[in-house]
Structure 1
Amino acid sequence: MSFTVKGMCRHGELAHRRKTAEAALTKARELAKIGCYDVHIITPEGRDYASSEFGDLPRSAVAWRPIQKTNTHP
């Protein structure tokens, strides 16, 4: 299962594969930050999310789990 992140830049189309929705979203934001446009995330099922729809991208339950802080110093 992999997500495809596509974007257009001045050199042509870029395509990257990521294993999770969170990683795909991070890569999509990186592409937009460096000036790419028409950025899309395509899910393993084939659903195509444009940058305006990234908020609707399904994420795993792990991504929403609160982080527990532990004291590693004695």
Structure 2
Amino acid sequence: MSFTVKARCKFGEIVHRRGTAEAALRKAKELSRSQCYDIHIVTPEGRDYDSSEFGDLPRTPLAVRVAQKGHTYP
């Protein structure tokens, strides 16, 4: 599962891929702080969220995020 973060900056279009919605949001915020604009997150299903819709982005459940990192419970 891969989320795509797209943005524009003074160098042109930038594209990053992240494994979770949370990681995609962190990258989008980082790009925003670095003066990028027209920032979008595209979900694995193809839904395109612009910066005004980031609050609507479906989040990864905690149990799935922990499993993706390879943590095990005692």
TM-score under structure 2 length normalisation: 0.83
Q: Which runs of 4+ in 1 moved over 4 A?
A: none
Identity %: 70
Deviates more, 1:26-35 or 1:54-63: 54-63
- Equivalenced residues, count: 63
Where does the alignment leave 5 or more consecutive residues of structure 2 unmatched?
64-74
RMSD of aligned Cα (Å): 1.1
Partner of 2:30: 30
Where does the alignment leave 5 or more consecutive residues of structure 1 unmatched?
64-74
Shift of 1:53: 0.3
Query: Rg larger in 1 or in 2?
Result: 1
SS of the counterpart of 1:58? coil
Q: Which amino acid aligns with 2:16?
A: H
| More helix, by proportion | 2
